[in-house]
Amino acid sequence: MDLGKIVSVVIFVADVATIMRALLRPHREPASRLAWIIAILALPIVGVVLYLLLGETRISGRRRTRGREVNAGLPRPRGNYRCSKENAGSAHWAAFALARTVNHLDPTCSNSARLAPDSNAAIDEMIADIDAAREHVHACFYIWLADHNGLKLKNAFIRAAERGVHVRLLADALGSRRLIESGHWTEMHDRGCEVRVALPVGNPLWTLIRGRVDLRNHRKLMVVDNAVAWCGSQNAADPDFRIKPRFAPWVDIMSRWQGPVAQQCQYLFVSDWIAEGGDDISALLTETVPEGSGEIVAQVLGTGPTAEFDAMPACFSELIHSAREELVVTTPYFVPDEQLLFALTSAGRRGIRTLMLFPKRNDNWIVAAASRSYYKDLIDAGAEIYEFKPGLLHAKTMVVDRRVGLIGSANLDRRSFELNFENNILFDDAAFAEAVRARQDEYLAQCERVTREDVERYGIALRLWQNLLATLSPML
């Protein structure tokens, strides 16, 4: 057999083996399997390489095993039986029941929450909580910049550490790489803060072989003394976001929580901290925390590439299906899977007022084009599409019937669904839902509506491009 035939046989075997792997991979939509099969058949060598690099949500075996061991062994903060019993019959309770299967965290009662007025105020209020800390401050950021807000936080963490507070900080290896490689990171360590890098990359080639470089810790949270937690969309950065100033201002939303749900946020930090080699601080999860003086039912929903099922889109979809009157969503990145798109179009078709708010200018041109490929389906189903004009609307919120909702770090795209570690809080409370709705209305006032006529004016070439990227999205 000559060399050419040997090469052909090797390529054929590699193609068949990769196709079989794509077909046998669990938790994968048929559309995704089909897209990869077509890519492998059309590009026999390139398709195989791309599948091995991007086709699976692969995290290194050591990190995956460590993460599962940590999560299996961690105690869960207590929920509230009364809370579950009183709300079990409500139309929206299915979302809480499904969320419980993700982290095995029960809904909690007697929480209170408020929104920071804006991004700069959120940083100032977080710093006030850091300065008031007595025992510990734990924080995790996807992007941490050495700008005004980023350095204000750094200095606050150092102040806390120098007065004896245990300060533990996590920053994503890619998103925060500039700060991690700077003297600011070293200074925090030298002055008493415990700092660790989340999902370190190391040698990029070796990382690609053993996992995926783009599996990131996208969480944005802070917990103080097991009593106060911050959750939302904001990174440790200024609104003008120096690394992408062309899209500024970045418009975020941050919520401050008190009550038992703060300890559930602690659970996510503890699981990340120990998985990244930090000390065992799991005893914090068994501490008795005050009941709280609020009335909000709240439950933490933390997801990531180690989840046993497509938890994030499933919980989002369950909440959407529970809508009886109104659904309002804000997200910067919208590339839905089949179940989420069906839930959204179904809501519109059954008469639910469905408002979707996206940024007009998006820092990710691929996502922007793919997002707009879904506009016609949504509008035809009765949804209202709005695009935010002043900057990049980065807030991730969902409010249903002015009663229940979600707030946190997760976008409505496949990266948040499959690749990123995310944190959200699912809540049930009319007053807090109204506060989030008021903020959504502020965004809405700065939007322009996208009509069916607008979509029809896109032109054939643009629609082909948008639909091509949407078709390829299951491969990403």
Looking at the structure, tell me whether residues 183 and 210 fall in a common domain: yes
Judgement on whether residues 428 and 334 belong to the same structural domain of the protein: yes
Q: Which of 152, 158, 149 is nearest to 187 (CA)?
A: 158
In this predicted model, what pLDDT tens digit does every residue of 402-440 receive, in sequence order? Answer: 999 999 999 999 888 888 999 999 999 999 999 999 999
Q: Tell me the pLDDT tens digit for each residue of 128-177.
A: 999 999 999 999 999 999 999 999 999 999 999 999 999 999 999 999 99
**Residue 289: what pLDDT?**
83
Among 293, 324, 341, the domain-final residue is: 293
Question: Are residues 458 and 329 part of one domain?
Answer: yes
Q: Quick check: is 105 in a domain?
A: no
Decide if 119 contacts 250 (C-beta within 8 A): yes
* pLDDT of the residue at 231: 98
Name which of 373, 310, 321, 367 is nearest 344 in CA terms. Answer: 321
Domain boundary among 261, 293, 325: 293
pLDDT of 281 strictly over 70: yes
Residues 162, 238 within the same domain: yes
- Shared domain for 190 and 67, answered yes or no, is yes
Query: Coil, strand or helix: which one is 225?
Result: coil
- The answer to whether residue 103 is domain-embedded is no
**Do both 142 and 70 map to the same domain?**
yes
**Does position 112 have pLDDT exceeding 70, yes or no?**
yes
Q: Is there a domain that residue 88 lies in?
A: no
Which range of 24-28, 170-174, 241-245, 307-311 scores highest in mean pLDDT? It is 170-174
Q: Domain check: are 347 and 264 in the same one?
A: no
Q: Is residue 84 part of a domain?
A: no
- Indicate whether 33 and 137 sit together in one domain: no
Q: Within this chain, do residues 372 and 403 fall inside the same structural domain, yes or no?
A: yes
Q: Is residue 301 part of a domain?
A: no
* CATH code of the domain covering residue 284: 3.30.870.10
pLDDT of residue 61 exceeding 60, the answer is no
Structural domains in the chain (count): 3
Same-domain pairing of 168 and 286:
yes
Domain holding 392, by residue range, is: 311-475
pLDDT in tens, 291-318: 778 999 999 999 887 776 778 899 999 9
By three-state DSSP, how is residue 195 classified?
strand
Q: What is the rounded average pLDDT of the residues 73-98?
A: 77
| Alpha helices (runs of H) in 182-297, residue ranges in sequence order | 183-190, 204-210, 261-275
Dist CA 476 CA 471 (whole Å): 10
Instruction: Look at residues 265, 293, 321 and tell me which one is the last residue of a structural domain.
Output: 293
Q: Are residues 323 and 241 in the same domain?
A: no
* Cβ atoms within 10 Å of 324's Cβ, excluding its own: 14
- Residue 225 sits in the same domain as residue 333: no
Question: Does 305 reside within a domain?
Answer: no
CA 22 → CA 38, 198, 241, 314, 472, distances in Å? 11, 29, 39, 22, 15
